[in-house]
Amino acid sequence: MPANDADFDITSNSDLRAAVRDETQYSESHISEEDLSGLVDSGKRVLALRADVSDFYGDRGLAVALLGIVCAKAKGAVENSPVRVDNVGPNDVTFRTSDGSSLQLGQYEEMTQLGLSEASAVDDAIQGIEFTNTHFNDAYRTDRADRRYP
Protein backbone atom coordinates (compact mmCIF):
# COMPACT_ATOMS: atom_id res chain seq x y z
CA MET A 1 0.00 0.00 0.00
CA PRO A 2 1.43 3.41 -0.93
CA ALA A 3 2.06 5.91 1.84
CA ASN A 4 -0.96 7.98 2.84
CA ASP A 5 0.75 11.33 2.32
CA ALA A 6 -0.28 12.68 -1.08
CA ASP A 7 -2.16 15.98 -1.35
CA PHE A 8 -5.40 14.13 -2.09
CA ASP A 9 -5.10 11.64 0.79
CA ILE A 10 -7.26 11.71 3.89
CA THR A 11 -4.90 12.17 6.82
CA SER A 12 -7.09 13.65 9.58
CA ASN A 13 -10.65 13.95 10.84
CA SER A 14 -10.97 17.35 9.17
CA ASP A 15 -9.79 15.89 5.83
CA LEU A 16 -12.35 13.10 6.24
CA ARG A 17 -15.21 15.50 7.01
CA ALA A 18 -14.28 17.59 3.94
CA ALA A 19 -14.09 14.46 1.76
CA VAL A 20 -17.51 13.29 2.99
CA ARG A 21 -19.00 16.68 2.12
CA ASP A 22 -17.35 16.51 -1.33
CA GLU A 23 -18.61 12.98 -2.01
CA THR A 24 -22.14 13.48 -0.71
CA GLN A 25 -22.58 17.15 -1.64
CA TYR A 26 -24.09 17.70 1.84
CA SER A 27 -23.36 21.20 3.11
CA GLU A 28 -23.71 22.30 6.72
CA SER A 29 -27.34 23.16 5.94
CA HIS A 30 -27.87 19.41 5.42
CA ILE A 31 -25.71 18.04 8.24
CA SER A 32 -23.98 20.06 10.94
CA GLU A 33 -20.26 19.77 11.61
CA GLU A 34 -21.08 18.33 15.05
CA ASP A 35 -23.34 15.65 13.57
CA LEU A 36 -20.78 14.81 10.90
CA SER A 37 -18.09 14.46 13.59
CA GLY A 38 -20.38 12.01 15.37
CA LEU A 39 -20.75 9.97 12.18
CA VAL A 40 -16.96 9.94 11.76
CA ASP A 41 -16.59 8.58 15.30
CA SER A 42 -19.30 5.99 14.62
CA GLY A 43 -17.57 4.85 11.43
CA LYS A 44 -14.27 4.56 13.30
CA ARG A 45 -15.89 2.39 15.97
CA VAL A 46 -17.21 0.02 13.30
CA LEU A 47 -13.82 -0.37 11.63
CA ALA A 48 -11.94 -0.56 14.94
CA LEU A 49 -14.21 -3.33 16.16
CA ARG A 50 -13.93 -5.45 13.04
CA ALA A 51 -10.41 -4.70 11.83
CA ASP A 52 -8.74 -4.17 15.24
CA VAL A 53 -7.17 -0.93 14.04
CA SER A 54 -6.97 2.54 15.50
CA ASP A 55 -4.70 4.39 13.05
CA PHE A 56 -7.28 5.09 10.34
CA TYR A 57 -5.14 7.63 8.52
CA GLY A 58 -1.80 5.80 8.44
CA ASP A 59 -3.04 3.48 5.70
CA ARG A 60 -4.65 4.83 2.52
CA GLY A 61 -6.91 1.78 2.29
CA LEU A 62 -8.35 2.25 5.77
CA ALA A 63 -8.90 5.96 5.15
CA VAL A 64 -10.84 5.18 1.95
CA ALA A 65 -12.85 2.43 3.68
CA LEU A 66 -13.72 4.84 6.49
CA LEU A 67 -14.77 7.44 3.92
CA GLY A 68 -17.18 4.97 2.31
CA ILE A 69 -18.76 4.01 5.62
CA VAL A 70 -19.12 7.61 6.80
CA CYS A 71 -20.65 8.64 3.45
CA ALA A 72 -23.23 5.86 3.82
CA LYS A 73 -23.97 6.94 7.38
CA ALA A 74 -24.30 10.58 6.27
CA LYS A 75 -26.74 9.58 3.54
CA GLY A 76 -28.84 7.70 6.07
CA ALA A 77 -28.78 10.63 8.50
CA VAL A 78 -29.60 13.34 5.96
CA GLU A 79 -32.21 11.46 3.97
CA ASN A 80 -33.65 9.76 7.04
CA SER A 81 -33.57 6.43 5.29
CA PRO A 82 -32.32 3.38 7.14
CA VAL A 83 -28.95 2.27 5.80
CA ARG A 84 -27.85 -1.21 6.72
CA VAL A 85 -24.41 -2.62 6.11
CA ASP A 86 -24.79 -6.35 5.70
CA ASN A 87 -21.08 -7.05 5.27
CA VAL A 88 -17.86 -5.10 5.53
CA GLY A 89 -14.84 -6.95 4.25
CA PRO A 90 -12.27 -6.86 1.47
CA ASN A 91 -14.26 -9.43 -0.50
CA ASP A 92 -17.84 -8.45 0.35
CA VAL A 93 -19.25 -5.04 1.23
CA THR A 94 -23.02 -4.75 1.04
CA PHE A 95 -25.01 -1.63 1.92
CA ARG A 96 -28.81 -1.71 1.75
CA THR A 97 -31.58 0.86 1.97
CA SER A 98 -35.28 0.30 2.39
CA ASP A 99 -35.87 0.77 -1.34
CA GLY A 100 -32.70 -1.03 -2.44
CA SER A 101 -32.05 1.32 -5.35
CA SER A 102 -29.48 3.86 -4.17
CA LEU A 103 -26.77 4.51 -6.73
CA GLN A 104 -24.77 6.46 -4.14
CA LEU A 105 -24.78 3.55 -1.69
CA GLY A 106 -23.47 1.32 -4.46
CA GLN A 107 -20.60 3.76 -4.94
CA TYR A 108 -19.91 3.85 -1.19
CA GLU A 109 -19.92 0.03 -1.12
CA GLU A 110 -17.29 -0.06 -3.84
CA MET A 111 -15.23 2.60 -2.08
CA THR A 112 -15.32 0.70 1.22
CA GLN A 113 -14.54 -2.64 -0.40
CA LEU A 114 -11.63 -1.20 -2.40
CA GLY A 115 -10.21 0.48 0.69
CA LEU A 116 -10.44 -2.68 2.80
CA SER A 117 -8.98 -4.87 0.07
CA GLU A 118 -5.98 -2.53 -0.21
CA ALA A 119 -5.48 -1.91 3.51
CA SER A 120 -2.34 -3.57 4.79
CA ALA A 121 -3.70 -3.92 8.34
CA VAL A 122 -6.94 -5.74 7.44
CA ASP A 123 -7.40 -9.50 7.31
CA ASP A 124 -9.27 -10.95 4.30
CA ALA A 125 -11.71 -12.68 6.66
CA ILE A 126 -13.20 -9.44 8.03
CA GLN A 127 -16.88 -9.33 7.21
CA GLY A 128 -20.27 -9.82 8.83
CA ILE A 129 -20.97 -6.33 10.18
CA GLU A 130 -24.57 -5.26 10.15
CA PHE A 131 -25.87 -1.94 11.40
CA THR A 132 -28.86 0.29 10.78
CA ASN A 133 -29.77 3.72 12.01
CA THR A 134 -31.15 2.12 15.19
CA HIS A 135 -28.82 -0.74 16.14
CA PHE A 136 -25.45 -2.39 15.62
CA ASN A 137 -24.98 -6.11 15.38
CA ASP A 138 -21.77 -8.07 14.91
CA ALA A 139 -23.01 -11.09 12.98
CA TYR A 140 -20.00 -13.14 14.03
CA ARG A 141 -20.74 -13.06 17.76
CA THR A 142 -21.15 -16.53 19.16
CA ASP A 143 -23.58 -15.80 21.97
CA ARG A 144 -26.23 -18.10 20.53
CA ALA A 145 -26.92 -21.30 22.44
CA ASP A 146 -26.20 -23.45 19.38
CA ARG A 147 -22.85 -21.60 18.79
CA ARG A 148 -23.72 -21.21 15.07
CA TYR A 149 -23.14 -18.02 13.18
CA PRO A 150 -26.25 -16.34 11.78
69-121 pLDDT, tens digit each: 999 889 888 876 656 555 565 555 555 554 555 677 777 877 887 888 888 87
148 found inside a domain: no
**Over residues 132-139, mean pLDDT:** 40
142 found inside a domain: no
31 found inside a domain: yes
Lowest mean pLDDT among 15-19, 42-46, 47-51, 122-126: 122-126
71 found inside a domain: yes
Q: What is the Cα–Cα distance from 7 to 28, expressed in whole angstroms?
A: 24
74 found inside a domain: yes
- How many structural domains does the chain have? 1
Chain centre to alpha carbon of residue 46: 7
145 found inside a domain: no
pTM of the predicted model, to two decimals?
A: 0.72
73 found inside a domain: yes
146 found inside a domain: no
> Is it the case that residue 57 has pLDDT exceeding 90?
yes
Q: What is the Cα–Cα distance from 116 to 90, expressed in whole angstroms?
A: 5
User: How would residue 137 be classed by pLDDT, with cut points 50, 70 and 90?
Assistant: very low
